[in-house]
A and B are shown apart, each in its own frame.
Chain A
Amino acid sequence: MPWTKNKAEVNEPDYYFESSENVRRLSYSEAIREALDQALGMDQRVFIMGQGVDDPSGMFGTTLNLHKKYGSQRVFDTPLAENALTGITTGAAMGGMRPVYFHNRPDFLFLAMDQLVNHASKWFYMFGGAVNVPIVLWACIGRGWGSAAQHSQALQGLFMHIPGLKLIMPSTCYDSKGLMLAAIADNNPVLIIEHRLNFRNKGCVPEEPYRVPIGKGIIRKKGKDITFVAISHMVTEAYSAAEELSREGIEAEIIDLRTLRPLDEEIILNSVSKTGRLLIADCGWKTGGITAEISAMVAEKGFELLKAPIRRVACPDVPTPSGFTLEEGFYVGSNDILNTAREIFQIRA
């Protein structure tokens, strides 16, 4: 897989455990696979479908050989019909099942927008609570190695706009398992957007089933000078930037939102009340995206807490280019976070 050349396999920071010596370490995809395995084992209503969930690579390894363990009735390949299949998961959920529908790339979710946005996300409200739609949709951002404009989109800004849809973007192996189990147990439509770069991580993952609460962010690193709000693999990028800043005497607090909708406003505002400075880092577009929404929320609810203007690190508003020199100009990471943070402090100096 060429994308693996972009990033070596690494251990993620041990956010959860004092010592990782006696804790089992799993790869990101193994953690998701274990969640699916346990969900299938615990609940007969759960089934997994999607183009390629039973293929030899098993959807980045997340569904690897689950069809062999649970049978092709419960883990099955689908026709390439994203819109109808999303409606079919919706109908199956109304009929008492708990479908998990895998998409290789978020780009293909555009083909499913009618059923996801017009139907699944609205059904509970539109019928006054008569029918709920417990479905999980999963897609993985395909950044890297010339994936170009239609195989690399980070569309969380769009999906965050939709009332009735829960939106999750994990960053750690522990959360990828716990949030998957929480999403499957949730009574509403949940979209999980993963990032391919996370799949090179290994982290501490307990063996027993557990749920990470949807709608709750978490502080990954405590700090008093500036708040970094990040999601998905941008949390790792923010962590590298924060370590460098720390050497320069600036302590950044890192919030991993984990869920974009419902948004954990409290954790952001509490941190900003302590640091007075806010930098938001996203791997999607800037305009109308999640950094815009979080900025607006803080400006509305916490303007008096701010000692400096809010800054955003996000991708420029162009389709993703293919060529590697242009990719360098497009993608943002720890350097952009670091430089933007330095600018914030230079302004105040």
Chain B
Amino acid sequence: MTMDLKKYPHKLLVKLYFDMLRIRKVQLHIESLYHLDEMKTPIHLSIGQEAIAVGVCANLRQNDYISSSHRSHGHYLAKGGDLKALIAELYCRETGCSRGRGGSMHLVDTSVGHMGSSSIVGGGIPIGTGLGLAIQMKAEDRISVVFFGDGAAEEGVLYESINFAILKKLPVVFVYENNNFAVCSRVSARQAGEIIFHKTPNDAMPSQTVNGNSVMEVYEATQQAVTRARQKAGPSFIECKTYRIRGHAGAGSDEKLGYRTAEEICEWEAKCPVRTFSGLLLRNGVLNETEIQVMQETIDCEIDEAFRFALCSPLPKPEDVTKYLFCD
């Protein structure tokens, strides 16, 4: 990969790498312990898709909103969601981000604009659009970003929401994370061609397609979309092409299921967004091996602490099952 990195601040490049590495390491750690069956919640790993969460969120401020899906650990962490509260949620603890009521698919951290993720495919799309409406009505200086996958791209709410976002010129960025698969079904079996929103007139909603495994490509595309939203010029659409390395849910590779080959997975592993970016940074002298080693250790410590915190935390009491039904 050749790319001129000189135009970017050193601090930004380091942050992009650190955030991707952190998300990768958190997921690998979750995966390594999942067989113990102590995290009693269905996990959906986004290993191989870290560049999208990080490249997008690096353009956002703390008070910007994001909405996402069942595969949302990366979005949550990239936006600044609390790691301890994430791990505690996976362990069904009262200290979890959703107090043990949501699980892996329902993460929330309102302090960083993450208002909750939905596990109904496409469910977060109109909610993120509605957050954009609230921003507009209150004349706030913030934006709303909606992450959704290729399965959600087939849902009617995407059309309905984009129509409304264009109609009202909402400050929303639609990030289409095309990882090729809905469970075991390929996007080519479900969509006849590229998504229709690339044909939207540019003044209504500009669209781009980027390599979702390149954090810099995602960052640049998002920067344009975010600028447009902050200028109150309306929504944008970004398709990030990537690949789901792991199975739909749970830990480990699912190549034994036979719907895709080990070779195909290997080809995409070679395009790993974390490793390709570290190679780029090393070649350009942005980082050296020692600095990466220090990052690894820092992250490992943080992860260990988060898991310790989760396992020491209390479990919700069965008699509290009716708590939080209604807000007073």
Contacts and interface: CB of A to CB of B under 8 A. Distances in A.
Interface of A: 47, 73-74, 78-79, 81, 83-97, 114-115, 118-119, 123-132, 134, 163-164, 166, 187-188, 262
Interface stretch (B153-161, B191-199, B249-257): B153-161
A94 B159 CA distance: 22
Contacts of B325: 124-125, 163-164
A94 B101 contact: no
Given A83-B156, A84-B125, A131-B108, A95 B65 contact: yes
Interface residues of B, number: 45
Given A88-B130, A88-B164, A130-B110, 17 more contacts: A83-B126, A87-B130, A87-B157, A91-B128, A91-B130, A91-B133, A92-B130, A92-B133, A92-B137, A95-B131, A95-B133, A119-B118, A119-B120, A126-B98, A128-B98, A128-B100, A132-B327
A1 to B, nearest CB: 30
Given A124-B327, A128-B99, A91 B164 contact: no
A115 B130 CA distance: 12
Contacts of A166: 326
Nearest to A78: B164
B234 to A, nearest CB: 16
A129 B99 CA distance: 8
B163 A92 contact: no
Contacts, number: 156
Contacts of B159: 81
A114 B106 CA distance: 16
A127 B134 CA distance: 20
Interface in B296-328: 323-328
Contacts of B129: 84, 87-88, 91
Nearest to A261: B326
B206 interface: no
Contacts of B328: 187
Given A128-B96, A131-B115, A81 B134 contact: no
A262 B325 CA distance: 11
A87 B159 CA distance: 13
A94 B130 contact: yes
Given A87-B157, A95-B135, A115 B123 contact: yes
Interface string B122-160: 010111111111110110000010000000000011011
A61 B116 CA distance: 37
A119 B129 CA distance: 14
Given A114-B120, A127-B108, A91 B134 contact: yes
B116 A90 contact: no
B137 A97 contact: yes
Contacts of A97: 133-134, 137-138
Contacts of B102: 126-128
A132 B324 CA distance: 10
Contact of B116 (A87, A127, A134): A127
Contact of A79 (B128, B133, B160): B160
A325 B97 CA distance: 58
Contacts of A114: 120, 123, 157
Contact of B324 (A83, A86, A91, A125): A125
B133 A130 contact: no
Nearest to A74: B137
A91 B116 contact: no
A93 B130 contact: yes
A305 B169 CA distance: 61
B184 interface: no
B151 to A, nearest CB: 14
Nearest to B321: A125
23 contacts: A78-B164, A79-B160, A81-B163, A84-B129, A84-B164, A88-B127, A90-B126, A90-B130, A91-B67, A91-B131, A91-B144, A92-B131, A95-B134, A96-B134, A97-B137, A97-B138, A118-B120, A118-B123, A119-B127, A126-B102, A128-B101, A130-B116, A262-B326
B250 to A, nearest CB: 21
A295 B191 CA distance: 49
Contacts of B167: 79
Contacts of B132: 91
Nearest to B65: A95
Contacts of A132: 327
Contact of A94 (B115, B118, B156): B115
Contact of A130 (B108, B126, B134, B156): B108
Contacts of B327: 124, 129, 132, 134, 187-188
Interface string B85-112: 0000000000011111110001010100
Contacts of A128: 96-102, 324
Contacts of B135: 95
A325 to B, nearest CB: 39
B134 A79 contact: no
Interface string B27-51: 0000000000000000000000000
A81 B161 CA distance: 8
A298 to B, nearest CB: 22
